[in-house]
Amino acid sequence: MKERLRRLLVEAIAAAVKEGQLPGDAAGVEVYVERPPRSEMGDFSASVAMGLAKVARRPPIQVAEIILSHLPSDPVVEAAEIAPPGYINFRLGPRWLTDAVAECLTRGSDYGRSDWGAGRRVQVEFVSANPVGPIHIGNARGGPYGDVLASLLEATGHHVTREYYINDGPENTQIVVFGGSVQARYLQALGVEAALPEGGYQGEYVTELGQALAAEHGDRYRNVPQDEAGALLFFGLVRDRMIQVLQEDCDALGISFDVWFSEQGLYDSGAVEAVVKKLMDLGAAYERDGAVWLRSSAYGDDEDRVLVRQSGGPTYLASDAAYGLNKFLERGFDHVIYVWGPDHGGYVARLKAALAALGVEPERVEIIIYQIVRILRGGEPVRMSKRAGNAIWLRDIIEEAGRDAVRFFFLLRSVDAHLDFDLELATRQSEENPVYYVQYAHARTYGIQKEAAARGFPGPSTERLELLSHPAERDLMRYIADYPGLVSDAARQRAPHRLTHFALEMARAFHQFYDRCRVLDPANEELSAARLALVVATGQVLRNLLGLLGVSAPERM
């Protein structure tokens, strides 16, 4: 609807320019249509006239008058008025709302979907936590975010691949330390005196891994030296188990990845070596001090970065460049979104530099950094470190609060904002969690339908939707009408939190409607049928919303 009004305005301005009433450069201005702050001001408004006042060298009100005099007629526009200091306010006929209800019922679960993505192939890579332990609350945030972002892109006509990058490469020091930790726990399980490596992983699950290895293999690996090679050997023994743990965690969150991509695979195929050579051939990398450097400073980074160490081992940047080449060149994604944690902020410039050096257009690379999650327990911050072993596992939180609440809670805030997750609040007060408010609204739409059937009311009908004229009905219908625009806005802005906020507002509009408008009125069957249609459409939109959020939409609670 905004778009429809916007076109009317653009046409009107063009016509005015043609007749010489507005200067030529007026035709190029951006026109935005928005919601006025109060409903008495109309259904939609535009402030173009104020923006044009300067170039037109006329007062805004006059500009608005000129625009209005050229405004093409549209059956849905009941009135277009000018309000000081120069707003153009549109008052629309009831059809634009009731048509939305009808359209929602016709399109069902497709309502809100669009095709502006035109089938572009987009990859969203997220979570990608190192395979050295279960997902903890600190790196869990990317899960719901990436998953819902992917859903939003799907809903707007993109072809989306959800991908998890497994950092199981041999050059990953975390892998080495982790493997060494497993080895130490294995030896201890055999009764051998063994110390954890420097900065080793102290989590209980590591002890369990060691014990499991001892039970399975006995003392077969007892004499493996406690060095890097030994650590990697032990990592190899538990690698599949660790990936399985990560997959189970993602399952528990309701996330299903299309691709689990192994960094080790890039080494095995020679892709890492090849990309370094390619960068050298391109002149984007050079040797110095026995290391190979990426000329990243020529591509926007502060300084050049090491690709291959003096020791001969490639850095993470080298395998990431190879991975990028794989994404863009081999698999041909049009656009790639990386969802990273806050500790990766310093890495953005160098990855972009590497990809730019390889010829990937910068606009195809998008890196989103979400902000830190702070864990509180009753208001007190809880420190956590995977290595220290006092991490808070995602799985435990899900068990306590439930998947729906965890996802909804994580999606309540903008990615740019820090997120406080208070365990006590998420568990003790789980009944007051906002997710229940929305789910209850959805369940209520079912309750009403069931009651209608039980009492023998005729089913929902769109025949007399014009009977829906109560302010609460109009408010509610407005959410239904706005929903498709919300989905494309949220996708464009990479802002899943717009969905949770909209869901809460719409649920409130529905509860208000329920409170003020009796749906099932035996004395007025036509009105009842129309209201029932509104109830069904509301349930449909809530269900579509919750579907995008990956939160269940129960029929009763």
Provide φ and ψ at 127, rounded to 5°.
65, -85
Q: What is the DSSP string of 538-557?
A: HHHHHHHHHHHHT----S--
Partnered with residue 90 across adjacent β-strands are 44, 80
Q: Which is nearer to RNA, 143 or 539 (CB)?
A: 539
Distance of alpha carbon 445 from alpha carbon 480, whole angstroms: 14
List binders of RNA among 302-331 (CB under 7 A).
302, 305-306, 309-311, 315-317
Q: Which is nearer to RNA, 338 or 514 (CB)?
A: 514
Q: Does 259 bind RNA (CB under 7 A)?
A: no
Place of tokens 């201005």: 29
Q: Judge whether 49 and 68 are in contact, CB under 8 Å.
A: no
> Binding RNA by CB under 7 A: which of 21, 45, 139, 544?
45
Distance of alpha carbon 236 from alpha carbon 129, whole angstroms: 17
Q: Single out the segment in contact with RNA by CB under 7 A; choices: 103-111, 138-146, 284-292, 392-400.
A: 284-292
Q: Does 281 bind RNA (CB under 7 A)?
A: no
Q: Which is nearer to RNA, 187 or 443 (CB)?
A: 443
Short-list 125, 155, 121, CA closest to 259: 125
> Binding RNA by CB under 7 A: which of 418, 424, 428, 463?
418
Partnered with residue 421 across adjacent β-strands are 375
List binders of RNA among 180-239 (CB under 7 A).
none
Q: What is the DSSP string of 96-135?
A: HHHHHHHHHHHHGGGTT---TTTT-EEEEE-----SSS--
Q: Does 497 bind RNA (CB under 7 A)?
A: yes
Q: Does 458 bind RNA (CB under 7 A)?
A: no
Q: Which is nearer to RNA, 28 or 346 (CB)?
A: 346
> Binding RNA by CB under 7 A: which of 323, 514, 530, 533?
514
Residues in contact with 316: Cβ distance below 8 Å, sequence separation at least 6, in sequence order: 167, 169, 171, 172
Q: Single out the segment in contact with RNA by CB under 7 A; choices: 172-180, 214-222, 253-261, 391-399.
A: 172-180
Q: Report the first-to-last Cα separation within the chain, whole angstroms.
A: 35
Q: Single out the segment in contact with RNA by CB under 7 A; choices: 16-24, 144-152, 185-193, 494-502.
A: 494-502
Distance of alpha carbon 512 from alpha carbon 476, whole angstroms: 9
By CB neighbour count within 10 A (0-12 exposed, 13-18 middle, 19+ buried), where does 250 fall? buried
Q: Single out the segment in contact with RNA by CB under 7 A; choices: 51-59, 207-215, 232-240, 540-548.
A: 51-59
List binders of RNA among 60-119 (CB under 7 A).
60, 83, 85, 87, 89
Q: How many residues at the interface with RNA, by CB under 7 A?
A: 84
In the complex, least distance from residue 189 CB atom to RNA, rounded to whole angstroms:
27
Q: What is the DSSP string of 183-230?
A: HHHHHHHTT---PPPTT----HHHHHHHHHHHHHHTTTTTTS-SSHHH
Q: Does 420 bind RNA (CB under 7 A)?
A: yes
> Binding RNA by CB under 7 A: which of 107, 230, 440, 470?
440
List binders of RNA among 329-388 (CB under 7 A).
342-347, 369, 371-372
> Binding RNA by CB under 7 A: which of 21, 98, 123, 130?
130
In the complex, least distance from residue 233 CB atom to RNA, rounded to whole angstroms:
19
> Binding RNA by CB under 7 A: which of 32, 259, 274, 459?
32
Place of tokens 């590591």: 206
In the complex, least distance from residue 22 CB atom to RNA, rounded to whole angstroms:
15
Distance of alpha carbon 253 from alpha carbon 250, whole angstroms: 5
Q: Single out the segment in contact with RNA by CB under 7 A; choices: 225-233, 286-294, 460-468, 545-553.
A: 286-294
